[in-house]
Amino acid sequence: MKVFITVKSLGKKKNDLSRIEWQLIRTPETLRAFITDMVTENVKKFNSRQTEVPLVPYLTGSEIEQQGSVGKVGFGTLYNEQQADSADAVHTAILAHEDGLYKVFINGEEIDSLDEPLLLEESADVAFIRFTMLAGRLW
């Protein structure tokens, strides 16, 4: 099943929303299962990225141009070689949703309950909106 994922952080200065095509391995029955699948796949990608060795040990002109358009040019060196734990990441993501740190919208409708049946259709638009906590001092 194919869905389109949009991630937005309300506290970011850039207002870019990127719509990413995401292939689901199986159709999730609940929001909890959907979040678990998303986090597990992202942890796998993160852990495999750490073991990749670049074929070209320098940046080409097109890579510099591409990274410059985003605002940061770097070699992509990862200094922390620690592998992410999938179970911990899933627990953290579920806890963050329960604490209201992000909301999930499917085709414009907010999905709040983690364990109610989820109706996810082919090519559905899924949006994750992350909230930023404000910190400061009241004078």
Instruction: CATH number of the domain at 91, please.
Output: 3.10.20
Residue 76 lies in a domain: no
Mean pLDDT, rounded, for 81-109: 92
Q: Is residue 31 part of a domain?
A: yes
Q: Looking at 17-26, 50-59, 74-83, which range is the least confident one?
A: 50-59
Q: Is residue 73 situated within a structural domain? A: no
Structural domain span for residue 40: 2-50+81-130
Residue 41 lies in a domain: yes
Residue 37 lies in a domain: yes
Q: Is residue 9 part of a domain?
A: yes
What pTM was estimated for this model as a whole? 0.72
Contacts of 103 (CB under 8 A, 6+ apart): 110, 112, 128, 129, 131
Tally of structural domains, the chain: 1
More confident residue, 10 or 21: 21
